[in-house]
Amino acid sequence: MSIAIKEKESLLEGASLVAPSSANRVSHIPSRYNVKVQDESGQWIVYNSFSGAVGAIPKEKEAEILPLLEDGGQGSLSGEAKTLIERGFLIKQGTDELRRVALMKQRRQSAKDLHLILMPTEECNFRCVYCYESFARGAMKPGVRQGVKNLAARLVPKLEAMGVSWFGGEPLREMGIVEELSMSLINSCREHGVSYSANMTTNGYYLNAENLRKLLACEVRSFQITLDGCPEQHDAMRVLKGGGATFDRIWGNLKVARQIQERFSIKIRVNFNQQTLEQLSPFLSLLHSELKGDERFSLFFRPVGNWGGANDGNFQVCDKKPGEESTFEASRTAIRQGLRSDMVYPFLRPHGSVCYAANPKSFVIGADGTLYKCTVALENENNKVGCLLPDGTMDLNQDRYALWVTSDDSDDPVCQSCFFRPPCQGSACPLVRIESGKRPCPPEKKMIKKSLITTWENFKAFGKLGEVGTRISRD
Ligand code: SF4
Ligand code: SF4
């Protein structure tokens, strides 16, 4: 079953309900994956987590649509009811939705794609106060680079798509390795008609015009760059390895990127604490002054936490729940100030909240050839699932590997009956389930009302629910 999701229209506006014909008595019932919430104005926003459809009910249509969402309808339905059927809010009576979600997971797990998270170096030119990395390994060794190329040569003929995420350390410290591996992987994919895409998490310090052009030639078209608020706030958190400010250089690079007339997207990540929130408005005004109207730029927010680094406890962090709440409120503030903040919807789409660590065909390849599943717990023994050999063979510890790809909803009856199961599948963070045995419910589910209001406000302001096809780390 393929699901069409039209994002560019107000999903429920502009249609009318036609009385059912007695000739056709097929019954439609509400999907178990429907959610409806009211925003501050009283408008209903509706969401179906199986199809990923999001829409708002116009006031004048409430009397027609709300009963349909409660009770379904009979006969040959048209108008509003037809729209509800097309978007998955109403389903044919007898549809086994639970089994369809199980099938959805099976299809994800057997998809012919490969996702490699490559660390061309584990060294970094920054020493951010909250960083959890150890910088123990430098540039990727020649034997590992050969292993990556051979791995691709062996697997690409069996694939439909390959995605690469450049990660580090700071990947742009080793631009030559990024180019060398990109060209090899792209050529393998071209030879076999396999689609190739790439993104990069970078601190942005070396993302000057020359490097940006080289990266675009390497098909790296999506970037995540962090700015932690106004210059003085950012510079207190994100400092050079030997000490020194970083905001001006990154900001200069963003301004230059704006002048380059090519297709790419830059997602500005804002790690925030209470101080950042107090200065949010001037920071957003600064961003707006340079980036307004350029839809290649967007921003999203993450609360600063004690992430396991050497400085934990020595800087201001957000408590978990207020921090998660502020994530959505900060996005709404940005949208009101004319800045796209569309990174909530990708987590609401089918499979959207499943962490890449749960994907059987996703691997992190460290600079020394160690294979990991999770990009956060790099020193955790369970996360060291194997080793990439120079001939491209993956020497896997099957028990450790299995931990990551099977710690999901399979044996969890609460997950199996959860309204958010299609996006999450119990796998929003396998690390949490492995370490604590607890369900890793993501903030987009726990705060579904805020998620939907933020998503809808972004749609109203910018005509898009959110970026599709983007995989970003929640961390
Ligand atoms: S969501 Fe959890 S498992 Fe996935 S990368 Fe983050 S910490 Fe690791
Ligand atoms: S982990 Fe939480 S959100 Fe995810 S499927 Fe299970 S109960 Fe639902």
Ligand 1 in reach of 307 Cβ (< 6 A): no
At 155, the amino acid letter reads: L
Backbone angles phi, psi at 30, to 5 degrees: -65, 140
Q: Where are the alpha helices (DSSP H) in 128-266?
A: 142-155, 175-191, 209-217, 231-237, 247-259
3 state DSSP class of 9 = coil
Could you tell which of 424, 433, 448 is best to mutate to test the pocket of ligand 2, judged by most ligand atoms within 8 Å of the CB? 424
Going by C-beta distance under 8 Å and a sequence separation of 6 or more, which residues neighbour residue 276? 228, 229, 233, 270, 283
Span from the CA of 73 to the centroid of ligand 1 (angstroms): 42
Per-residue pLDDT of the chain (475 residues), as tens digits, is 223 333 333 344 333 333 334 445 679 999 999 999 999 999 999 999 999 999 999 999 999 999 999 999 988 777 889 999 999 999 999 999 999 999 999 999 999 999 999 999 999 999 988 887 778 789 999 999 999 999 999 999 999 999 999 998 999 999 999 999 999 999 999 999 999 999 999 999 999 999 999 999 999 999 999 999 999 999 999 999 999 999 999 999 999 999 999 999 999 999 999 889 999 999 999 999 999 999 999 999 999 877 777 777 777 778 888 889 999 999 999 999 999 999 999 999 999 999 999 999 999 999 999 999 999 999 999 999 999 999 999 999 999 999 999 999 999 999 999 999 999 999 999 999 999 999 999 999 999 999 999 999 999 999 988 765 545 556 6
Residue 379 to residue 237: CA distance in whole angstroms: 23
Atom 2 (ligand 1): residue with closest C-alpha? Answer: 429
Span from the CA of 431 to the centroid of ligand 1 (angstroms): 6
Residue 45 to residue 66: CA distance in whole angstroms: 11
Confidence (pLDDT) at 25: 64
Ligand 1 in reach of 424 Cβ (< 6 A): no
Ligand 1 in reach of 429 Cβ (< 6 A): yes
**Angle of helix 247-259 versus helix 209-217 axis, rounded to 10:** 60
Pick the ligand that lies closest to the CA of residue 425: 2
Confidence (pLDDT) at 77: 76
Residue 301 to residue 270: CA distance in whole angstroms: 5
Span from the CA of 243 to the centroid of ligand 1 (angstroms): 30
Confidence (pLDDT) at 465: 87
Residue 464 to residue 295: CA distance in whole angstroms: 10
Torsion of CA 455, 459, 461, 467, to 10 degrees: 80
At 69, the amino acid letter reads: L
Secondary structure element (H or E) that encloses residue 37, with its range: strand 34-38
**272 and 301 Cβ atoms separated by less than 8 Å:** yes
> Can you give the pTM of this predicted structure?
0.91
Atom 3 (ligand 2): residue with closest C-alpha? Answer: 441
Atom 1 (ligand 1): residue with closest C-alpha? Answer: 429
DSSP string, 122-143: S--SB--TT--------BPPHH
Backbone angles phi, psi at 474, to 5 degrees: -75, -20
Confidence (pLDDT) at 473: 56
Helices (H) and strands (E) in the chain — how many of each?
18, 16
The token pair at 174 is: 């080793």
Ligand 1 in reach of 139 Cβ (< 6 A): no
Ligand 1 in reach of 199 Cβ (< 6 A): no
DSSP string, 282-299: HHHHHHHHHHTT-TTEEE
Span from the CA of 428 to the centroid of ligand 2 (angstroms): 8
What's the chain's length in residues? 475
Pick the ligand that lies closest to the CA of residue 357: 1
Span from the CA of 382 to the centroid of ligand 1 (angstroms): 13
Confidence (pLDDT) at 472: 52
**What is the Cβ-side half-sphere exposure of residue 87, based on CA atoms within 13 angstroms?**
28
Q: Which residues line ligand 2 (CB under 6 A)?
A: 409, 414-415, 418, 420-421, 424, 426, 428, 439-441, 445
Residue 248 to residue 232: CA distance in whole angstroms: 10
Residue 329 to residue 324: CA distance in whole angstroms: 9
Confidence (pLDDT) at 4: 32
394, 450, 471 from 441: Cα distances, Å: 31, 15, 18
The token pair at 382 is: 């369970």
Q: Where are the alpha helices (DSSP H) in 218-353?
A: 231-237, 247-259, 274-278, 280-291, 320-336, 345-348
Span from the CA of 419 to the centroid of ligand 2 (angstroms): 8
- The structural domains of the chain, ordered by start, are 27-95 (no CATH), 113-354+444-462 (3.20.20.70)
Confidence (pLDDT) at 135: 80
Atom 8 (ligand 1): residue with closest C-alpha? Answer: 374
Atom 7 (ligand 2): residue with closest C-alpha? Answer: 415
Ligand 1 in reach of 474 Cβ (< 6 A): yes
**287 and 333 Cβ atoms separated by less than 8 Å:** no
Residue 49's closest CA among 362, 350, 411, 352?
350
Confidence (pLDDT) at 3: 31
**362 and 373 Cβ atoms separated by less than 8 Å:** yes
